[in-house]
Each structure stands twice: as structure tokens, then as C-alpha cells.
Amino acid sequence: MLSAEDAAIAATISLLLEVSASPKSGNVDRDHDFEDLKFEDFLISSAAAFPSFLRAAESKKIGENIFYAVKTSSRWQRAGNVHFGAFLLLIPLLTGWEGRRGKEVAKIASENVKRTTSDDSIYVFKAFKICKARVLEVEKFSLKDDKTKNFIVEKNLNLYNWMLLAPKDNLIAKELTEGFKISLKASEKLFNYKNKKEAIVYTFHELLASYLDPLILAKFGYEKAVEIKIKASEALKEGIEGFKKLDQELLNIKANPGTIADITASAIFLAICDGWLYA
Amino acid sequence: MLSAEDAAIAATISLLLEVSASPKSGNVDRDHDFEDLKFEDFLISSAAAFPSFLRAAESKKIGENIFYAVKTSSRWQRAGNVHFGAFLLLIPLLTGWEGRRGKEVAKIASENVKRTTSDDSIYVFKAFKICKARVLEVEKFSLKDDKTKNFIVEKNLNLYNWMLLAPKDNLIAKELTEGFKISLKASEKLFNYKNKKEAIVYTFHELLASYLDPLILAKFGYEKAVEIKIKASEALKEGIEGFKKLDQELLNIKANPGTIADITASAIFLAICDGWLYA
């Protein structure tokens, strides 16, 4: 990346390309809206996030800019939670833009996550309160409970230590505490395809076949999440036609693997750092 | 608009919603790529323009920011001219963001166009050299000819006076010198539809049925441009099915009414100034 502005451009492009790629089983894409969440909401939210992306790249402040990204996104569209998970990944990554390649960007971002304070955690908590994202429930620090805020302050939990307490299936917490390993691996896979749209569609389904999506887990439980993971593996053998079938099946039961989409976006960002757009 | 940042967000959203609406006869949209110009190029260019949009809103500098928007867009995508016409309209409009409604925004923008200097014209000339947009040819100040640059300097032509010399069919010059009348009228039409996507598709075709597209004129000449205008009128009576048919017909002969799309984008921007996203 040449500048903080370029980093913000790359993050915005990541969101735009991710949501536009189709078919992405169960999720909103250029061909599929939900009743209360449309393709246009994602476009609007992506544009609305730009100033927060730019500030994150310039100031390296994580929590604050996650909060402002969610707040500005929610002011510009009325669908509620559009990009909470994606912002949780992209904004830390943006603070690492000066790294020469995706790997170094992820490394600097991970160090910056470790350097956050409990103020960052409070900002993320407040961001969640605005967009009411669906997350995996845990007893001690439910995002729905104001006690969590006190808990963060009492224990002086920075974002890193807070995320360490998340359930093991919380893939975003995993990314933030384990060096963005999943996103980095997926970013390499994106280079295996000549066509960008196809690259995103395949990479999304490879992730879906490899991990249980936390949103699916929260909405449908373990059994269904495992079933979808297995079905994604089978769809991968068939390619686009397989994805289309699985897409329809998941749309019918409103099972949207939103976190897998978020990680697809962070993978695109890291791939762009490695020159993917012109590969 | 609450701030210069919001104005830049609105301009970026205008480009994203415009290109996503489908079917838009003959043009790139979410369902139609050209061989050398894809939907993704428009998404990328829209994100890349954000910093120039923001600077235009903050500094009110027109020519310079048209140049930087084209330059940054061309650095991020390789399709060449993606948004030249749209930038020529949106960047002046962004300098008027403090206006309370679309009408006032257009008024301030028009005054700012009148206040430009020959430096602004030189910047626009340089922007054209980068993206090699197709424009209506004229003898005296062809954008392809370096003599034009000398002509601008000698005659001390600011953007307003330069645009006054454009052929009468140059709709963008018309907008810049006549108070954005076409965009304003189209922005009002956008409010007539409940669904945003439908609003854009219909407004685009109403413009296509009302004006000869300069890109079509430059590529195919007067007779064909008139024919397309008449066909757009007929398609309007049929609605979406009519648009789909005309779309296929124009795509087959590679007739893309790009300027009508540019004006659709500036109309969306003005409509957003009037609260259209939440109307």
C-alpha cells in the first residue's frame, strides 16, 4: 500500500467485491436480497465505512474506529447489522497497512490488537449495542448484557484479552488473537483463480467447507452447522452448479454464513496487499 | 449533508447504486460486463474516488480533484475510462454540499464552476489524457489535441467558459453551464418509485428517452442516437420487460449510453441530498 488512503480504498474494495460475488451460499449477493437486508445496504455501508477506515489507517486506533464505522454505517442504512464482523477484522488490519505484504500487515495488526486497552473493548461493546449483531452466547460476557461493560472495566480487559475469552467457535475472536491465520490462508487461495469473481466464490466455499460458521451456530446450533460444512465440501466438488444448489437450500431456511463472508472480505484485503487485483 | 465526509459518502453511494441498477440498456450493470470493462471495475473506481470526493467537498477545488479522481481510479483499475463523465458532474456538485437541498447544492456548484480558473481547465484536460474518454469531436478544442492546452492558456478559459464552447449535444457541458437542470429534474423523478433499484432503472430510461447520448453520438452518429432515443420511449411504455429487450439490443451492437448513466449518478447524488435514501 502506498498510503493510508490506499489502505482505506483497499478495505472498501474488499467489502464491495465480497458482497458482489455470486453465488455465495446463503448470503446476500448481487443476485440475492433478504427481506430486511439488501445488496444495496452492503454497498451503502461499504461507502459509509470509508472515513473510519481512513482514520484507522492513519491513527491506528482500533476500538474507536470500529465504533465509528458501525455508527456511520447504521446512519446510512437501516438494515441494522451489515458489517460488524467485517469491521472487527478489517479495522485492525488497516492499522497494519505499512507492512510490505499481507503477512506483514497481519503481523503488525496482531501486535496492534495486543496493544489495545480496555477503552477499545468498551468501544466495541458500544458498537455491538448499536447494530445488535447476532453472536455466540456465553455466560460471563454476553454482548447483550450491560454487566459485560463493568466486567471489561473491572478486569481491565483489552480487545486481545477479551477476545481470548470468546468461545472457541468464534472465528473472528480466533482471527484477532491468532494472527489472522484463516484470512491469510484464504488470501493465498484467491490467487489460484484467473477470474476474480470465481476466486471469491470458491474461496468463500472453501472456508465454508473448513469451518463452522458462528452465525449459523448461533441461529441453528451445532448439528445444522456441521451439516452445512459437509454440504459445502460436497458442493466444492461440483463447482458453481453445486454452489447454486446449496445457495438455494440455505436461502430457503434463511441460514446465512455471515462470518465466513466477513473472513472472505479480510482475505480479499490481504490479497490486495499482495497485488491480487493485478495478478 | 452533515459534513464533507457525508458528502463524499453520498457521491460514492451514487456511483455504486447507479452501476448496480439493472437492466440499464446498453450499459455495464450487475448482470452485464463488457469484455474490457466489468462491473467490478466500476466498484473499484467508486471506492478509489472517495479521497478526491472528500477533498473536493473540503477544498472546493474542482479541476484538481477531477484530475486526482481520474488518476486514482486509473491506478486501481485497468479498464481505462470508467467514471470521467460522472466525476465531471459529481466533483463540482460536491463543492456545493453545504446547500440545504439538492437545488441549493446545484446552485452553489454552478457558482463554483463559474469561479474556476484556467488551471481547472488544464487539470480536466490532463485528466482526459489519462483516461482517454470518448467525447464529441470539435475542431477548435479537441480533447485529443495538445493545441487545446495552449488554447485554454491563451484565452484564459476557465472550466465554465471552456464548457460553453462545447457542442450543444455535450450534455455534461450543458449541466455544468446551465445549473445541472437535467440532473435536478431526474432527481425529482427518483422519488416517484417505492423501490430504489426500480427508481434508478426507470429514471435512466426516462433520460435515455429524452436526450441523445453523447457517447452514442460520438460512436454511431446522429441517426442511430435518435433511433435509440425513440426506442427508449417505446420501452418505457412496456417497463422492465421493454428495458430488458432494449438492453440486449444495445449490448449486441455495443452501444452504451454512458453519459446518460453519468447523469443518472448525479441525479442520485442530488436526490440523496433531498433525503431520497430514506424517502
Which DSSP category does B139 fall into? Answer: S
pLDDT of residue A36: 87
What Rg value do the Cα atoms of chain A yield, rounded?
Answer: 17
Q: How far apart are CA B77 and CA B59, in angstroms?
A: 26
Find residue B29's DSSP bridge partners.
Answer: B32
pLDDT of residue A136: 67
Q: Which residue has the cell 453523447?
A: B214
Question: Left if phi > 0, otherwise alpha if psi is -120 to 50, otherwise beta: which for B156?
Answer: left
Nine-digit cell string for A187 = 488470501
Phi first, then psi, for residue A34 (nearest 5°) are -95, 170
Q: Are B269 and B189 in contact (CB under 8 A)?
A: no
Q: What is the pLDDT of residues B8-40, one digit of tens each?
A: 999 999 999 999 999 999 999 998 888 889 999
Between chains, do A47 and B13 touch, taking CB under 8 Å as contact? yes
Is A16 part of the contact surface with chain B (CB cutoff 8 Å)?
yes
CA B276 to chain centre: 19
Q: How far apart are CA B271 and CA B279, in angstroms?
A: 10
Distance from CA of A16 to the nearest CA of B (A): 7
Q: Are B155 and B141 in contact (CB under 8 A)?
A: no
Is B48 part of the contact surface with chain A (CB cutoff 8 Å)?
yes
Q: What is the pLDDT of residues B48-62, one digit of tens each?
A: 999 999 999 999 999
Q: To probe the interface with B, which of A1, A5, A193 has the most B CB atoms within 10 Å?
A: A5
pLDDT of residue B146: 77
Find residue B34's DSSP bridge partners.
Answer: B37
pLDDT < 50 stretches in chain B? none
Find residue B32's DSSP bridge partners.
Answer: B29
Nearest to residue B177, comparing CAs of B186, B188, B168? B168
Is B178 part of the contact surface with chain A (CB cutoff 8 Å)?
no
pLDDT of residue A81: 86
Which of B17, B50, B197 is opposite residue A50, by nearest beta carbon? Answer: B50
Helix, strand, or coil here: A32?
strand
Nearest to residue A95, comparing CAs of A75, A80, A119, A114? A114
Domains parsed from chain A with CATH numbers: 4-273 (1.10.4200.10)
- On chain A, the residues whose CB falls within 8 A of the CB of B50 are 8-9, 12, 47, 50
Distance from CA of B11 to the nearest CA of A (A): 9
Reported ipTM: 0.96
User: Which residue type, as a one-letter code, is found at position B5?
Assistant: E
Q: How far apart are CA A138 and CA A159, in angstroms?
A: 17
Nearest to residue A276, comparing CAs of A17, A3, A8? A17
Is B251 part of the contact surface with chain A (CB cutoff 8 Å)?
no
Which of A13, A44, A197 is opposite residue B47, by nearest beta carbon? Answer: A13
Q: How distant, in Å, are the alpha carbons of A169, B12, B70, B128 from that of B53?
A: 41, 8, 11, 18
Q: Which residue has the cell 467485517?
A: A86
| B39-48 and B4-20 helices, crossing angle to 10° | 180
Q: Are A151 and A162 in contact (CB under 8 A)?
A: no
Count of A-B CB contacts under 8 Å: 80
Helix, strand, or coil here: B32?
strand
Torsion sign over Cα B189, B193, B196, B201 = negative
Is B198 part of the contact surface with chain A (CB cutoff 8 Å)?
no
Q: How far apart are CA B191 and CA B277, in angstroms?
A: 10
pLDDT of residue B279: 79
pLDDT of residue B141: 57
Chain B: residue nearest A78 by CA? B278
pLDDT of residue A148: 85
Q: How far apart are CA A176 and CA A167, in angstroms?
A: 13
For the CA atoms of A153, A156, A160, A165, what is the dihedral angle to 10 degrees? -70
Q: What is the pLDDT of residues A50-97, one digit of tens each?
A: 999 999 999 999 999 999 999 999 999 988 889 999 999 999 999 999
B34 exposed, middle or buried (CB, 10 Å; 0-12, 13-18, 19+)?
Answer: middle
User: Which residue type, as a one-letter code, is found at position A62?
Assistant: I
Q: Which residue has the cell 468463500?
A: A204
Q: Are B256 and B36 in contact (CB under 8 A)?
A: no
Distance from CA of B7 to the nearest CA of A (A): 10
Q: How distant, in Å, are the alpha carbons of A137, A181, A247, B30, B38 from that of A196?
A: 36, 22, 19, 15, 11
Q: Are A181 and A110 in contact (CB under 8 A)?
A: no
A121 exposed, middle or buried (CB, 10 Å; 0-12, 13-18, 19+)?
Answer: buried
Which of A9, A39, A76 is opposite residue B9, by nearest beta carbon? Answer: A76
Long-range CB pairs of B172-177, under 8 A, 24+ apart, other chains included: B172/B85, B172/B88, B172/B89, B172/B214, B172/B259, B172/B262, B172/B263, B175/B89, B175/B263, B175/B266, B176/B88, B176/B89, B176/B92, B176/B110, B176/B113, B177/B113
Chain B: residue nearest A29 by CA? B30
Q: Which residue has the cell 430486511?
A: A36
- On chain B, the residues whose CB falls within 8 A of the CB of A43 are 13, 16-17, 20
pLDDT of residue B81: 86
Which DSSP category does B29 fall into? Answer: B
Nearest to residue A72, comparing CAs of B102, B228, B86, B10? B10
Nine-digit cell string for A83 = 458489517
List per-block mean pLDDT (blocks of 10 residues) for chain A, which spans 279 residues: 96 98 94 90 98 98 98 92 96 97 98 98 93 68 75 95 94 98 98 95 98 95 97 97 97 95 98 94
Between chains, do B9 and A40 touch, taking CB under 8 Å as contact? no
Q: How distant, in Å, are the alpha carbons of A120, B86, B198, B203, B229 from that of B210?
A: 54, 19, 18, 11, 7
B105 contacts: CB under 8 Å, gap ≥ 6: B93, B96, B97, B99, B270, B273
Helix, strand, or coil here: A142?
coil
For the CA atoms of A211, A50, A52, A178, what is the dihedral angle to 10 degrees? 20
